[in-house]
Amino acid sequence: MKLIKLAAVSLSLISLAACGPGGKPPGGAGGGLPQVSVVTLQPQKVPLSTVLPGRTSAYRIAEIRPQVNGLIQKRLFTEGALVKAGDVLYQIDQAPFQAALDNARAALARSEANLPAIRARAERLRELLADKAVSQQDTDDAAAALKQAEADIASSQAQVESARINLNYTRITAPITGRTGKSNVTEGAIVTAYQPTALATIQQFDPIYVDVPQSSSDLLRLRRRLDQGELKHGGKEQNKVGMLLEDGRSYSSRGTLEFRDVTVDPSTGSLILRMVFPNPEGVLLPGMFVRATVEEGILDAAILAPQQGVLRNPKGEPYAFVVDSEGKVGMRMLTLEREIGDQWLVTAGLSAGDRVIVEGVQALQMLRPGTPVTVKTEPFQASATLSAEAQPTNATAPNRAAK
């Protein structure tokens, strides 16, 4: 009899222990099934983009060098100032070049003065030759002298033009509109024609180039996805690019993708993308570090999973819990391509219509797949899906996903 009572007391203690604190069974509130919040995944139209680091470079660069030898008399610009094409930057001493021009003009005048007499003599001898009053040799000599005089005039004219050009070269002008750098010479310096050291450099900043490297493997992947129809070309808008400045702010104007380089750098395995951005206020300077947002294409049926619902195992492999049609928990291993806003772009593991658990996940980690749960009726408040009006324009580089 005592043994029967002792067994009854033991069973009562086991039942109380199973009920937990307060004598209630484990599970959700009131002793029911665990409650979770879910998001039902739907395919969405998402524009994909890649953020690539790069640097700015001047749209045009002109290194100013003299075209004649001489002495710098004046510097006619302010360092760092904006100059226009045709503005005079330096003045070389004109005196020797003016003298050379005057000498060439005098030689031309002398040649022109001798021409009428030589021409008249040649004509007279040609008339006398018809009467056989002079020899053929004299006539030929007179004709040759006339041609030589005409050639001398042409040569003198060329010398005058050359002297005039050299005189104009003493005024060193700006070939382009842009901002000047520092001057490498001052008044009194002797310069030589086409010397290796530039007198100054002019750079055009508006518009301005942005050069970014792109991995050749990423380019091949993008082309494969476009060819296979996974991505659709975004049309003219795909050539538009955005930009983030060094301080993280977005640049006010969008640029245009000009071209992709045709040569891959063997040391880096990348090629250069060149973009052009307007720069009317001069915010961008050559050599600045920026990040360009390049449009890849449009994904018509993208599956985006909320970040709250994506977990990782000790190996770092991503997975998610889902609720099946019978109200039981299932676990899915995922393949993630990139982060878009507060969501992950999922390429494998989830499909349209799956209900991903986004609240109550920590409690479910203590349970096994196949455990029945109760789905909360109130909607999940976080922005788990993208609307057509708020599609992503930025994406991080791929990818921390595991297959």
For the chain, give the mean pLDDT: 81
Q: 238 Cβ partners below 8 Å, 6+ apart?
A: 295, 296, 297
Q: 37 Cβ partners below 8 Å, 6+ apart?
A: 357, 358, 359, 360, 375, 376, 378, 380
Q: 175 Cβ partners below 8 Å, 6+ apart?
A: 62, 64, 85, 202
- Mean pLDDT for 316-325 is 89
Work out the angle between the directed axes of helices 136-169 and 95-130 (0-180°, nearest 10): 160
Give me the pLDDT at residue 217, please.
Answer: 82
HSE-CB for 158 with a 13 A CA cutoff: 6
For 115-173, the pLDDT digits (tens) are 999 989 888 888 888 878 788 888 888 899 999 999 999 999 999 999 999 999 999 99
Which tokens sit at 110?
């002398």
Give me the pLDDT at residue 289, please.
Answer: 95
Q: How confident is the model at residue 193 (pLDDT cuts 50, 70, 90)?
A: very high
Q: Which residue has the higher pLDDT, 358 or 67?
A: 67
In this predicted structure, the answer to whether residue 340 has a pLDDT above a threshold of 90 is: no
Q: Which CATH architecture has domain 66-93+170-197?
A: Beta Barrel (2.40)
In this predicted structure, the answer to whether residue 271 has a pLDDT above a threshold of 70 is: yes
For 206-265, the pLDDT digits (tens) are 999 999 998 888 878 777 767 766 666 666 666 788 999 988 899 999 998 888 888 888
Q: What is the sign of the dihedral through the CA atoms of 370, 374, 379 and 381?
A: negative
> Using CA atoms, how far apart are residues 80 and 287, in angstroms rounded to an integer?
16
Q: How confident is the model at residue 399 (pLDDT cuts 50, 70, 90)?
A: very low
Q: How far, CA to CA in Å, does 368 sit from each of 104, 222, 331, 365, 377?
A: 103, 39, 9, 7, 23
Spatial contact of 291 and 53, defined as CB atoms under 8 Å apart: yes
Spatial contact of 167 and 96, defined as CB atoms under 8 Å apart: no
For 63-74, the pLDDT digits (tens) are 999 999 999 999
Q: Which residue has the higher pLDDT, 141 or 369?
A: 141
Nearest to 350 by CA among 377, 370, 323: 323
Greatest mean pLDDT among 23-32, 159-168, 315-324: 159-168
In this predicted structure, the answer to whether residue 23 has a pLDDT above a threshold of 50 is: no
> Using CA atoms, how far apart are residues 230 and 153, in angstroms rounded to an integer?
75
Give me the pLDDT at residue 218, please.
Answer: 80
Between β-strands 240-244 and 171-173, what pairing exists: parallel, antiparallel or unpaired? unpaired
Q: Which residue has the higher pLDDT, 375 or 291?
A: 291
**Which strand ranges, in their side-by-side order, compose the sheet holding 88-92?**
171-173, 88-92, 70-75, 190-191
pTM, 2 dp: 0.66
Residue found under tokens 């969405």: 44
Q: 234 Cβ partners below 8 Å, 6+ apart?
A: 47, 295, 297, 298
Percent of the chain with pLDDT over 90: 40
Q: How confident is the model at residue 2 (pLDDT cuts 50, 70, 90)?
A: very low
Phi, psi of 211, rounded to the nearest 5 degrees = -110, 125
Sorted by where each begins, the domain ranges of the chain are 40-57+204-375, 66-93+170-197, 94-169
Nearest to 355 by CA among 382, 325, 317: 325
Give me the pLDDT at residue 171, please.
Answer: 96
Give me the pLDDT at residue 49, please.
Answer: 79
- Rounded to 5°, angle at Cα 100 from 97 and 106: 145
Spatial contact of 71 and 122, defined as CB atoms under 8 Å apart: no
> Using CA atoms, how far apart are residues 112 and 326, in angstroms rounded to an integer?
111
Nearest to 92 by CA among 64, 76, 71: 71
Q: Which residue has the higher pLDDT, 197 or 224?
A: 197
- Domain 94-169 class? mainly alpha
Percent of the chain with pLDDT over 70: 80
Q: How confident is the model at residue 385 (pLDDT cuts 50, 70, 90)?
A: very low
Spatial contact of 296 and 50, defined as CB atoms under 8 Å apart: yes
For the chain, first and last CA: distance in Å? 63
In this predicted structure, the answer to whether residue 273 has a pLDDT above a threshold of 70 is: yes
Q: How confident is the model at residue 300 (pLDDT cuts 50, 70, 90)?
A: confident
In this predicted structure, the answer to whether residue 295 has a pLDDT above a threshold of 90 is: no
Spatial contact of 92 and 170, defined as CB atoms under 8 Å apart: yes
- Domain 40-57+204-375 class? mainly beta
